């Protein structure tokens, strides 16, 4: 009688010819090793942290997969960039019906995105937007100082940034463009078909496809190492950074969302991920699914490298590029130390060193935020009127933060370019 492990090994050998594992991914033998903490993770995830061979092969194959619908559009646009891009923009702004004899690639794309999946619940989307507003500045702190900084520890995620020359671009520009997109999708009804949030999401998806088109053809791009630029694994990781990681981070900063708020927030990002071209198999419905994927993602990247340090240092210095209306230099230095303090609080000394950052002696700012957030969190839960006031104030702070980047947020781009 064969054991489960022997069955998995036999299954593995029977399928190895079907795909080539990118060098960035650790071997299946590494992932199947039982660690001392594996039973603890099993309790947390409510499932084994050790993936099956089918799960492992799906993760590694995701490194080779792009976004078929939008990749076809990008290929078509590049045949006649000026004219075809105008047609794509018109279909995006006015609908596919506005075009005479639209090409098949546009018909197929808009037939999909113009019709919401049956699982989308407008009420949950509305609740998620209200919850996002209530988070105020804390959401930005978590996204910037945890999601983005920790993401730079994964070199596979950084490669498109290097290939497109984004390292030469100010970090404030990339951050401003991402913040602008987030503000637009979290407006009330922002994901309705002809609202700015919906259209900007499709535009970012289009930019991703253009990056894949150009970078994959560069001689210096190492497909055997990294797979496809901005592949499904990277898109899934980005979606988790905006959803699961944010929910983890706000708790550590004193905001403890209700179960219904978490459900709505994940549902919102499931739909945004779907619009962004993430395959549905990677769109989580429960937090524990996200935690398990985040754990597995660390095995899909090599050790941190020079790109980690370059991007980490660039983002750390970003506050010095902000445009404060008063006491600019003093407020720039204050913001620099605030963000550095939060990053250190989240990831610790060792990871700070990998990012090329000097750890502060004391992570002081989170210990100011935590009691403040806990008080406002409790007030919002106890009073409908206070919930409304806190949410309104939180949204005002989020929108005012975008103004600190001046003209750099006038156009949208991707976190990957």
- Domain assignment present for 31: no
Comparing 161-165, 198-202, 357-361, 393-397, the range with the smallest average pLDDT is 161-165
Q: 3-state class of 11 per DSSP?
A: helix
Whether the Cβ atoms of residue 103 and residue 76 lie closer than 8 Å to each other: yes
Instruction: Outline where 164-195 has alpha helix (H).
Output: 171-185
pLDDT tier for residue 16 given thresholds of 50, 70 and 90: very low
pLDDT tier for residue 167 given thresholds of 50, 70 and 90: low
Residue 142 has pLDDT above 50, yes or no: yes
- Domain assignment present for 199: no
**pLDDT value of residue 138:** 98
**How crowded is residue 29: how many other Cβ atoms within 10 Å of its Cβ?**
9
Mean pLDDT score across all residues of the chain: 92
**pLDDT value of residue 170:** 76
* Residues 346-377 as b or e (16 or more Cβ within 10 Å = b): bbeeebbebbbbebeeebebbeebeeebeebb
Alpha carbon separation from 186 to 94, 126, 135, 399, 413 (Å, rounded): 21, 9, 12, 11, 17
Residue 53 has pLDDT above 60, yes or no: yes
pLDDT tier for residue 164 given thresholds of 50, 70 and 90: confident
Question: For 169-180, what is each residue's pLDDT tens digit?
Answer: 678 888 999 999
- Domain assignment present for 81: no
User: How far from the centroid of its chain's Cα atoms is residue 342's Cα?
Assistant: 19
Q: Which residue has the tokens 């002696």?
A: 361
- Domain assignment present for 97: no
Residue 417 has pLDDT above 90, yes or no: no
Residue of 161 and 167 predicted with greater confidence: 161
**pLDDT value of residue 98:** 96
Per-residue DSSP letters for 20-50? Answer: ---TTSPPHHHHTPPPTTHHHHHHHHTS-SS
**pLDDT value of residue 415:** 37
Percent of the chain with pLDDT over 70: 92
Percent of the chain with pLDDT over 90: 85
**pLDDT value of residue 18:** 53
Residue 298 has pLDDT above 60, yes or no: yes
Distance, in Å, from the CA atom of 114 to the CA atom of 97, rounded to the nearest integer, reads 11
- Domain assignment present for 238: yes
**pLDDT value of residue 411:** 62
- Domain assignment present for 296: yes
- Domain assignment present for 27: no
Alpha carbon separation from 352 to 276, 294, 341 (Å, rounded): 31, 19, 11
- Domain assignment present for 90: no
Residue 410 has pLDDT above 80, yes or no: no
Instruction: Outline where 32-190 has alpha helix (H).
Output: 38-45, 53-62, 68-77, 81-94, 104-113, 122-134, 137-142, 149-151, 155-163, 171-185
361: tokens are 């002696």
Whether the Cβ atoms of residue 178 and residue 209 lie closer than 8 Å to each other: no
Alpha carbon separation from 305 to 89, 166, 172, 316, 319 (Å, rounded): 38, 17, 22, 17, 24
Question: For 101-127, what is each residue's pLDDT tens digit?
Answer: 999 999 999 999 999 999 999 999 999
pLDDT tier for residue 412 given thresholds of 50, 70 and 90: low
- Length of the chain counted residue by residue: 417
Domains in the chain, number: 1
Based on its alpha-carbon atoms, the radius of gyration of the chain, rounded to whole angstroms, reads 22
Q: What separation, in Å, do the N-terminal and C-terminal C-alpha atoms of the chain show?
A: 53
Alpha carbon separation from 358 to 59, 97, 152, 154, 255 (Å, rounded): 34, 55, 16, 19, 28
**pLDDT value of residue 204:** 97
Residue 232 has pLDDT above 80, yes or no: yes
pLDDT tier for residue 4 given thresholds of 50, 70 and 90: very low
**How crowded is residue 102: how many other Cβ atoms within 10 Å of its Cβ?**
17
Q: Cβ contacts of residue 126 below 8 Å, gap of 6+?
A: 188
- What average pLDDT does range 312-337 have in this prediction? 94
Residue 33 has pLDDT above 80, yes or no: yes
pLDDT tier for residue 407 given thresholds of 50, 70 and 90: confident
Residue 413 has pLDDT above 70, yes or no: no
Question: For 374-389, what is each residue's pLDDT tens digit?
Answer: 999 999 999 999 999 9
Residue 13 has pLDDT above 50, yes or no: no
Residue 236 has pLDDT above 50, yes or no: yes
pLDDT tier for residue 405 given thresholds of 50, 70 and 90: confident
Q: What residues make up the domain containing 232? A: 121-192+214-409
């Amino acid at each position: 009688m064969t054991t489960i492990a022997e069955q998995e090994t036999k299954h593995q050998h029977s399928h190895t010819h079907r795909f080539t594992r990118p060098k960035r991914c650790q071997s299946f033998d590494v992932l199947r090793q039982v660690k001392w903490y594996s039973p603890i993770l099993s309790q947390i995830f409510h499932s084994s942290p050790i993936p099956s061979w089918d799960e492992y092969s799906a993760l590694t194959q995701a490194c080779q997969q792009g976004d078929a619908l939008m990749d076809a559009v990008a290929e078509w646009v590049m045949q006649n960039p000026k004219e075809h891009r105008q047609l794509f923009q018109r279909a995006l702004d006015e609908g596919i019906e506005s075009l005479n004899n639209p090409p098949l690639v546009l018909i197929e794309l808009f037939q999909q995105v113009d019709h919401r999946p049956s699982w989308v619940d407008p009420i949950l989307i509305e609740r998620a937007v209200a919850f996002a507003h209530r988070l105020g500045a804390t959401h930005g702190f978590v996204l910037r100082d945890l999601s983005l900084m920790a993401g730079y520890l994964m070199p596979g995620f950084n490669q498109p940034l290097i290939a497109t020359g984004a390292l030469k671009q100010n970090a404030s520009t990339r951050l401003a463009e991402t913040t602008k997109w987030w503000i637009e999708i979290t407006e009330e009804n922002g994901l309705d078909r002809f609202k700015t949030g919906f259209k900007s999401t499709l535009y970012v998806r289009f930019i991703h496809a253009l990056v894949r088109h150009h970078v994959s053809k560069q001689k210096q791009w190492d497909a055997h190492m990294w797979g496809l630029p901005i592949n499904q694994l990277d898109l899934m990781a980005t979606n988790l950074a905006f959803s699961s990681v944010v929910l983890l981070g706000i708790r550590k900063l004193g905001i403890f969302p209700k179960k219904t708020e978490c459900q709505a927030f994940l549902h919102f990002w499931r739909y945004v991920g779907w619009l962004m071209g993430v395959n549905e198999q990677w769109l989580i419905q429960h937090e524990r699914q996200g935690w398990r994927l985040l754990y597995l993602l660390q095995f899909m990247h090599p050790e941190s490298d020079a790109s980690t340090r370059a991007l980490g240092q660039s983002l750390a210095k970003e506050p010095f590029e902000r445009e404060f209306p008063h006491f600019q230099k003093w407020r720039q230095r204050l913001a620099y130390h605030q963000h550095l303090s939060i990053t250190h609080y989240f990831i610790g000394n060792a990871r700070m060193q990998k990012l090329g950052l000097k750890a502060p002696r004391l992570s002081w700012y989170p210990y100011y935020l935590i009691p403040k957030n806990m008080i406002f969190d409790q007030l919002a839960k106890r009073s409908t009127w206070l919930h409304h006031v806190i949410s309104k104030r939180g949204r005002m702070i989020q929108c005012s933060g975008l103004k600190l980047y001046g003209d750099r947020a006038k156009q949208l781009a991707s976190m990957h370019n």
